[in-house]
Amino acid sequence: MIQKVSHRAWAIIGAVSVRTKILGIVLGFIILLGVGVMVQARYALSSTMTAQLEEQSISVSRDLAARATDPILLNDLLGLHDLLGETLANNPNVRYAFIVDPRGQVIAQTFEGGFPLDLLAMNSVKADEHHHTALIETEEGLIWDTAVPILDGKIGTARIGLSDASMRSALSTLTAQLLLTIILVSATGVLVAVFLTWILTRPIMALVVATKSVAKGDFTPRVPRWADDEIGDLATAFNAMTEELAHTDDLRREREGLRRQLMEKVITTQEDERRRIARELHDSTSQNLTSLIVGLRLMETNCAQCASISTATNLRDVASRTLDEVHDLSMRLRPRVLDDLGLAAALERLAHEWQARYKIPIDVVIQLKERLPGEIETALYRIVQEAFTNIARHSQAKSASLLIEKRGDTIRAIVEDDGVGFDADANQGERHLGLLGMRERAELLGGTLLVESTSKQGTSVFIEIPLNPQPAAFDLQSATIP
């Protein structure tokens, strides 16, 4: 239960802003203190005034009883009436005064035009008592009624009623003043709290803005150290962290640039090497093999009865197969058609050969009206080649498709199959390395590569390469390597 309540309380308190919290603390304390002071002050004033009223009631009635003795004995009713009038006039708290003779007759009183007869029975005093006070409830509030015997009760009783009106008015005045004070102090408190909040939240808001900038990769903002307190320390720590982050980021970018440069070089070198080997194989080795085959055929024709004809035929077959293999090797290393006829022709030929070899039908759609820059053609060719290799090796696909199109300034390629698929996020050794290489090639040209694959749902590889790549943020020329 308590836990529930505290959870709920925290849910409310935690959800409001720091400004509201500080405001709440300030106002809460002011109101709590104010109410406490008010309750205490009212209680103290009320008890003091009650005691005073009771004492005053006794002293006034004792005084009246003493002064009334002679007028009563002399039957001076006018004098008695005047005496009661004086008592009333001189004591603002006295609501009424009257004298009762021993037979219970009211012989003088201060009510005009009658007398509340119920009042008579409300209080009485014995002849040997000093006084007797009773609390009477009236429509005008409480009345302390004190009865004092006159001349030991032989000639009557003096009765005085003291109203608590003055006490109530004092209490309401006090309450009004305290309430006004609370309101004024609260208003001041709100102003102070707003000022405090501003002082406290200003550096925090600056920190929030700076943090958002850092999150976006901008390490330049620095927050000022407003005050020499915890928040000031936080600002200093934040600045130190940002500097460290900026430094680390610089290093990372530098290394990234170097790595990319290296990768480009490796890939370029690899392509050049492949092209050279392919040309060598095509131009030199293939020519030699062709010459060998032509020579062997001449040998078969010229010596029809030669015993070694079958041997020559066998050798020509071997040479022919070797020539095919060299063609194939040369083709795979660096298809000449890519350099000579462009990406579309090269990929169509690759697909054709791949389909022939692996017996998987492939649907090829290539919508390119003109040749693309050489590096893009090479990259796309290699990426599609790797994708095809993966399909052949892992997918168990029934069919596959290749789409390449130009959309605005972007070349888009999609390779899909209907195979078993795989978990694109998991690291899976060689295949993962292959995917990494594909992505690397795309990213080197400022493009992206996305693999979507789910188990038994096939695999899609999306490639996007911009025709006019943005210059890399990292400037290799100005970078210094520590």
- Which residues contact other proteins (rule: CB under 8 A)? 12, 24, 28, 31, 35, 38-39, 42-43, 46-47, 50, 69-70, 73-76, 95-96, 103, 105-106, 109, 111-119, 121-123, 134-140, 142-143, 145, 151, 154-155, 164, 168, 171-172, 175
- Considering the complex, state which of residue 86 and residue 140 has its C-beta at the smaller distance from other proteins: 140
**Closer of 102 and 295 to other proteins (Cβ):** 102
Name the minimum Å distance from CB 76 to other proteins: 8
241-to-214, 237, 246, 309, 348 alpha-carbon distances in Å: 10, 6, 8, 84, 54
Closer Cβ to other proteins, 100 or 383, answer by number: 100
Shortest Å, Cβ 214 to other proteins: 36
- Which residues face 108 on adjacent strands? 99
Q: What are φ and ψ of residue 436, in 5° steps? A: -60, -45
Report in angstroms how near the CB of residue 55 gets to other proteins at its nearest: 16
Q: How far is the CB of 31 from other proteins (least distance, A)?
A: 6
Which distant-in-sequence residues (6+ apart) come within 8 Å of 411 by Cβ?
368, 372, 376, 380, 404, 405, 447, 463, 464, 465, 466, 467
The nearest distance, CB 181 to other proteins, in angstroms, is 14
Nearer to other proteins, 47 or 396 (CB): 47
Residues 6+ apart with CB under 8 A from 445: 375, 376, 379, 465, 466, 469
| Residue bearing tokens 């106002």 | 27
Q: Which residue number, 37 or 298, has a Cβ lying nearer to other proteins?
A: 37
Counting beta carbons within 10 angstroms of the beta carbon of residue 47, is it exposed (0 to 12), middle (13 to 18) or buried (19 or more)? exposed
**Cα–Cα dist 7/150, whole Å:** 71
Contact 232/203 with Cβ under 8 angstroms? yes
Tell me how far, at minimum, the Cβ of 126 lies from other proteins, in Å: 16
Q: Which helix (H) or strand (E) holds 164?
A: none
CA 206, 207, 208, 212 torsion-angle sign: positive
Evaluated on CA atoms 73, 77, 83, 84, the torsion sign reads: positive
* Residue closer to other proteins, measured from CB, 96 or 388: 96
- Provide Rg for the chain, Cα atoms: 55
If the CB atoms of residues 118 and 340 are measured against other proteins, the closer one turns out to be: 118
Nearer to other proteins, 178 or 337 (CB): 178
- Cβ contacts of 35 within 8 Å, gap of 6 or more: 182
In the complex with other proteins, which residue's Cβ is closer, 142 or 337?
142
The residue (of 133 and 378) whose beta carbon lies closer to other proteins is 133
**What three-state secondary structure class fits 48?**
helix
Measured N-to-C along each axis, helices 374-390 and 429-444 cross at an angle, to the nearest 10 degrees, of: 160
**Which is nearest to 73 in space by CA: 107, 120, 96, 123?**
107
**Alpha-carbon gap, residue 224 to 235, rounded angstroms:** 7
